[in-house]
């Protein structure tokens, strides 16, 4: 998990970070965003939101 994760466009490196930082910063935040959207939709439909 300490290996460097890189995103490149052609020969240009756009971002580089340890894999653990990628998982934490990008993947988990993405999941949190979708959970938040799901909760909003449930509230709009007057459905009880499951506990976190």
Q: Which residue has tokens 């459905």?
A: 47
User: How many other CB atoms are found less than 10 A from the CB of residue 51?
Assistant: 4
- CA 8 to CA 15: how far, in whole Å? 7
Q: Domains of the chain: which residue ranges?
A: 4-44
pLDDT (0 to 100) of residue 23: 86
Confidence class of residue 52 from pLDDT cuts 50, 70 and 90?
low
pLDDT (0 to 100) of residue 46: 95
Give residue-wise pLDDT tens across range 7-46. Answer: 999 999 999 999 998 888 888 888 889 999 999 999 999 9
pLDDT (0 to 100) of residue 47: 95
Q: What does the block give as tokens for 23?
A: 């998982």
User: What mean pLDDT do residues 43-51 have?
Assistant: 91
């Amino acid at each position: 998990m300490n290996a460097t994760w890189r995103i490149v466009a052609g020969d240009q490196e756009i971002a580089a970070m340890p894999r653990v930082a990628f998982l934490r910063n990008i993947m988990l935040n993405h999941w949190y965003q979708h959970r938040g959207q799901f909760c909003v939709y449930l509230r709009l439909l007057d459905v009880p939101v499951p506990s976190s």
